[in-house]
């Protein structure tokens, strides 16, 4: 392989010999010309001095992600969702995929985070996720909205911040062109939601607790929230136990009676609890202030409700149970086994 610089050296040698041979015949010695790199550098310096910025590397462009090929599959409260995300930009798209159930007015009734997504620029990918919805959630849904949001912000981020939201019917077909624009509910105000008919029970006196209550939406709009329960001892301000009864989404003018299981934070505190607060909050039950809740009802704990007995599980702790070894133990070896093993040889 002949390098390019070697070829140039040979050419200059031939040219110089030719000039020497005809020097007297008028071969003119040319003045050396400045190298191109010097001029290029001078131009670059001049451009910089003139204030023209250097283009630098090409910046990556972020474009909204696109949903397609969506398939819904329901099994009771579980909803399986398969979808394709396409990234038409050059920058990677990251965040969370979100699913929202909308009523006939386009108001969000329930929101779920499908999962984390990451799609490189100029590519697409297929995702398979599943979520659990309240029993009344899917029947309430007129349309389903798929969109992406910043991580853990499905309930608050703008629908079109990082994707082109896809609106579908619950069957998976495209939503009508004239469907109302999606919107979120406004904060709950006093007098819009009524709680009544509260009954606390402990079936069989065991570890299961049930709360039955009626909720009525007396406003002209949909109301969403979380139903919370707190237990107090006497007039104390600090609660002894709390429980989240689940989410709530009630249409305007609707009334429903619910029975929820109470999974208390400290079941041993039931004996000390005398009064309870049932209220609706917009944030996590643990962080909410029941005294400031716009919809709240206080009631006395029934006398028959108490902390679970130690033997409520039916286990007789007086029985001596020998624990199983953590790891399988090797069987003890015997002298006879050793003798038999030593007497064996190939071919016997």
Percent of the chain with pLDDT over 70: 72
Which among 77, 87, 83, 71 has a CA at the least distance from the CA of 110?
A: 77
Alpha carbon of residue 219 to chain centroid: 32
Average pLDDT, integer, range 289-297: 93
Q: Residue 19: enclosing H or E segment and its boundaries?
A: helix 4-21
> Beta strands 275-281 and 166-169: pairing type?
unpaired
Decide if pLDDT at 121 tops 80. Answer: yes
Q: pLDDT at position 258, please?
A: 95
279 found inside a domain? yes
Provide the number of structural domains found in the chain.
2
Instruction: Write out pLDDT tens, residues 80-112.
Output: 999 999 999 999 999 999 999 999 999 999 999
Q: Could you say which of 169, 204, 238 is where a domain stops?
A: 169
**pTM for this model (two decimals):** 0.70
Question: Across the chain, what does the average pLDDT equal?
Answer: 80
Greatest Cα pair distance, the chain, in angstroms, is 129
- Give the C-alpha separation, 225 to 16, whole Å: 93
Residues 141 and 219 in one domain: no
22 found inside a domain? no
Residues 126 and 221 in one domain: no
97 found inside a domain? yes
43 found inside a domain? no
Which among 161, 147, 79, 78 has a CA at the least distance from the CA of 117?
A: 147
Q: pLDDT at position 55, please?
A: 54
Predicted confidence band of residue 284 (pLDDT cuts 50, 70, 90): confident
Q: pLDDT at position 205, please?
A: 82
Q: pLDDT at position 135, please?
A: 85
What DSSP assignment string belongs to 167-212?
EEETTSSBPPTTPPPPBPPPPP-TTSEEEEEEEEE-GGGSS--EEE
24 found inside a domain? no
Residues 251 and 283 in one domain: yes
CATH number for 165: 2.60.40.10
Residues whose CB falls within 8 Å of the CB of residue 119, separated by 6 or more in sequence, listed in order:
65, 85, 86, 87, 92, 93, 94, 125
Predicted confidence band of residue 309 (pLDDT cuts 50, 70, 90): confident
179 found inside a domain? no
Percent of the chain with pLDDT over 90: 59
Residues 269 and 212 in one domain: yes
What sign has the CA pseudo-torsion 282, 284, 289, 290?
Answer: positive
Confirm if 85 and 66 have CB atoms less than 8 A apart: yes
């Amino acid at each position: 392989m002949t390098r390019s610089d070697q070829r140039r050296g040979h050419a200059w040698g031939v040219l110089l010999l030719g000039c020497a041979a005809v020097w007297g015949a008028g071969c003119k010695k040319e003045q050396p010309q400045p190298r191109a790199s010097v001029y290029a550098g001078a131009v670059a310096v001049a451009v910089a001095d003139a204030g023209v910025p250097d283009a630098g590397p090409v910046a990556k462009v972020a474009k909204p992600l696109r949903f397609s090929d969506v398939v819904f599959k329901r099994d009771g409260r579980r909803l399986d969702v398969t979808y394709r995300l396409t990234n038409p930009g050059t920058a990677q798209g990251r965040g969370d995929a979100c699913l929202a159930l909308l009523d006939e007015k386009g108001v969000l009734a329930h929101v779920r985070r499908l999962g984390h997504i990451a799609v490189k620029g100029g590519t697409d990918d297929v995702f398979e996720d599943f979520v659990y919805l309240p029993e009344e959630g899917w029947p309430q849904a007129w349309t389903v909205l798929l969109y992406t949001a910043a991580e853990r912000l499905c309930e608050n981020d703008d629908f079109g911040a990082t994707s082109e939201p896809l609106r579908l019917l619950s069957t998976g077909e495209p939503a009508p062109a004239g469907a109302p624009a999606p919107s979120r509910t406004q904060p709950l105000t006093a007098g819009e939601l009524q709680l009544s008919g509260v009954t606390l029970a402990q079936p069989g006196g065991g570890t299961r607790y049930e709360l039955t209550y009626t909720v009525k939406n007396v406003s002209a709009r949909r109301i969403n929230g979380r139903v919370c329960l707190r237990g107090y001892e006497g007039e104390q301000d600090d609660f002894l136990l709390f429980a989240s009864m689940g989410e709530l989404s009630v249409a305007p003018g609707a009334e429903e009676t619910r029975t929820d299981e109470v999974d208390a934070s400290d079941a041993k505190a039931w004996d000390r609890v005398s009064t309870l607060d049932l209220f609706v909050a917009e944030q996590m039950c643990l962080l909410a202030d029941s005294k400031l809740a716009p919809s709240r009802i206080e009631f006395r704990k029934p006398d028959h409700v108490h902390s679970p007995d130690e033997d409520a599980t039916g286990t007789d702790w007086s029985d001596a149970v020998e624990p199983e070894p953590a790891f399988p133990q090797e069987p003890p070896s015997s002298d006879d086994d050793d003798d038999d093993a030593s007497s064996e040889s190939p071919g016997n």
